[in-house]
Amino acid sequence: MSPRGRGAPQREVVSVAKSFAQAPTPESSRMVLTRPTLASSAAEGFSSVRIGDSTRVSLMLTPHGRGGLREQIEELLTAQHRILGRQDYPMSVTSQTVFLRNPEDLDACRQILSRHYESAWPATTIVFQAPCCGAALALEAWAVGGPNTHVKHFGANTLSVDFDGNRWIYCTGIRSPQTGEGVYQQARILLDKMRASLTKAGTGFQQVIRTWFYLGSITENEKNGSQRYKELNRARADFYQDVAFQCSLAHPNIPQGIYPASTGIGMHGKDLLGSCIALETHRTDGMLLPLENPQQTPAYAYHPRFSPKSPKFSRGMALVLGNYITTWVSGTASVVYSNSLHPGDITKQTHQTIDNIQRLISAENFGFHGVSQGGCALTDLAKIRVYLKRPEDFSTCKAICDERFGTIPVIYAVADVCRPELLVEIEGVAFSRRGSAAS
């Protein structure tokens, strides 16, 4: 089941929309129930997923009002309270990512949120990425509830959630300020902090299945002439040499190891911010499946011309557990094999990016990786994030995403992608039942 290298010669790109087109999963077999954003109130774009006797809710909230920071935050928290109050169980917000327009609002934003949550502070990341719609901030949050759901905090940045026989550890908002020694040292400090936070929660870095790295000025060069993103890759590769990624799952040994799904994306400033999800389980009915796209070279196998030490991540990660699958889609752009396609064309880049996601999560690709009756459709995504390099591309990109993804909850944020010629990057997470994916 190991991902295989695809260093094949270049050939004509076949659009997924034509050859891998997927019909929406029938409503009766869908795990994800989505609710579109309502124009009349604070963005109530959310989805809910029932897993065992627990419910998970993903909220992607953007304020309609354009008052001050406090007014916009209160609008989002009111909408969140209203949505979670309609669920079958009392809900706990376990993790949240705040997309903040003005870095100077960081302390005020944190204070307002802290007073709201008090001792129930979620694992929180506040990233300096401006919402494309012009709001002061946007909020992505995950909440969980159920009779056998237990949340435990381990300091300000880390918590664990136990439900359905699994223990999820969220380590978020780890910040590494700019240093005079460059991004390499900055990243090593960040990764050491993440490892220490995971250790405090009683787990290790080898249990990590999903990571996020937000790097200020990601495409700029260091004093030594190396691009900042490439220095992040170098630090990550060196750190991962001592990590045998695995999970307590019934999974065969993969010789080259299991790299987490990941997003490496730009943000305002020069700092580096990191978050991750780790998983522990004693269930014997599951496996962890790193996913690669048959039309993309695995990132960890890139030629050194793209990065002297290649980016160590998988295109996706699927947790096959019982009769359902959770699929994390790494940050995905308009890349085929190793090459960026359609420079300067936001329309073609957006379509190609979605094509890449569709192919990655398809039943055909799961079958290629050895899992029958697996995979999912775009409609099985519980939420997506769309990162745009140029704010002026927002309306064009949004129209395409509305057409291709439908009513999936989404946040659009301004951020540089890791290659200067790439204009858009999309990530997400999907939930599907075995045997339900349409193809």
Backbone angles phi, psi at 123, to 5 degrees: -65, 120
Average pLDDT over residues 385-395: 98
Residue 2 in domain: no
pLDDT > 80? residue 250: no
Average pLDDT over residues 176-187: 90
Average pLDDT over residues 114-141: 97
pTM: 0.92
The number of domains in the chain is 1
Of residues 396, 376, 410, 435, the one with CA closest to residue 20: 376
| Interval 29-43: pLDDT, tens | 789 998 765 543 445
Of residues 73, 8, 67, 64, the one with CA closest to residue 41: 64
- The reported pLDDT for the residue numbered 27 is 55
Average pLDDT over residues 252-265: 76
Average pLDDT over residues 345-359: 98
**Dist CA 205 CA 192 (whole Å):** 10
Q: Where does the pLDDT of residue 282 fall: very low under 50, low under 70, confident under 90, or very high at 90 and above? A: confident
Q: Where does the pLDDT of residue 258 fall: very low under 50, low under 70, confident under 90, or very high at 90 and above? A: confident
Better-scored residue on pLDDT, 436 or 402: 402
| Interval 151-163: pLDDT, tens | 999 999 999 999 9
Residue 23 in domain: no
pLDDT > 60? residue 26: no
Q: What is the mean pLDDT of the chain?
A: 89
Cα 403 to Cα 68, 263, 280, 352: the distances in Å are: 33, 24, 37, 14
pLDDT > 60? residue 204: yes
Burial label for 11, CB within 10 Å (0-12, 13-18, 19+), is exposed
Of residues 188, 151, 143, 148, the one with CA closest to residue 168: 151
| Interval 49-84: pLDDT, tens | 998 889 999 999 999 999 999 999 999 999 999 999
- The reported pLDDT for the residue numbered 52 is 85
Residue 195 in domain: yes
Cα 211 to Cα 150, 278, 431: the distances in Å are: 23, 9, 18
**Domain limits at 320?**
30-433
Q: Quick one: angle between helices 394-405 and 346-361, nearest 10?
A: 30
Residue 41 in domain: yes
**Dist CA 273 CA 98 (whole Å):** 13
| Interval 359-386: pLDDT, tens | 999 999 999 998 999 999 999 999 999 9
The pair of structure tokens assigned to 159 is 């918590």
pLDDT > 80? residue 206: yes
